[in-house]
Amino acid sequence: MEDRRKHQRKDLIYQMKIFNREDNSFFGYLKNITEEGIMTVSGSEKEVNKTHPIRMILPKTISGTDELIVQAKCLWTRKDIDSDNFLTGFRLIDITAQEKEIITLLIEYFGLK
C-alpha cells in the first residue's frame, strides 16, 4: 500500500485521551499525529469512511485552549498484533489555521525527538 502522507507521523511523550464530542464517551488514546491525521488505539473497531466528531484533551493549555475539537474521518482500522486493541487511522477534516497551529505546537512541545 502506497504511503500518501505528506507529513511524518509524530509520537508524543504524553498519552492523550480522545472523546466522542456528541455524547462525551471515551473514543480512544492518541497513538500519533500529523497536521493531517491521527492514529488512535482503542478497545473497539471504528467504522471505515465514517466521520467522527472528536475532542482531544491537551496535556497543557496551548494557544488559549486545553482541548482540540475536530472532525476525523476513519480511513482504516485493524487489530493491534500486540494486544486486544484496535489501531485506527483518521484524516482530520476541514481543520482551521488555529487547529493546525495547536497541532504544530503540540508536536513541538510533546513530540518524541
**Bridge partners of residue 42, in order along the sequence:** 86
Cβ burial of 9 (10 Å; 0-12, 13-18, 19+) is middle
Consecutive H or E run containing 1: none
**In this structure, is residue 77 part of a structural domain?**
yes
Inside any domain, residue 48: yes
CB atoms within 10 A of CB 82: 7
- pLDDT above 70: residue 36: yes
Residue 53, domain member (yes or no): yes
Structurally, the chain folds into a number of domains equal to 1
| 3-state secondary structure (DSSP) of residue 8 | coil
**Considering the entire predicted model, what is its pTM?**
0.87
Is residue 72 domain-resident? yes
pLDDT tier for residue 1 given thresholds of 50, 70 and 90 = very low
Q: What is the pLDDT of residue 14?
A: 80
Residue 15 lies in a domain: yes
> Residue 84 sits in a domain of what CATH number?
2.40.10.220
The per-residue pLDDT for range 44-85, each reduced to its tens digit, is 999 999 999 999 999 999 999 999 999 999 999 999 988 899
Residue with cell 492523550: 16
Q: Determine, yes or no, domain membership for 5.
A: no
Query: What domain range is 98 assigned to?
Result: 10-110
Tell me if 1 is assigned to some domain: no
pLDDT band at 13 (very low <50, low <70, confident <90, very high): confident
Tell me: pLDDT of 112 over 80.
Answer: no
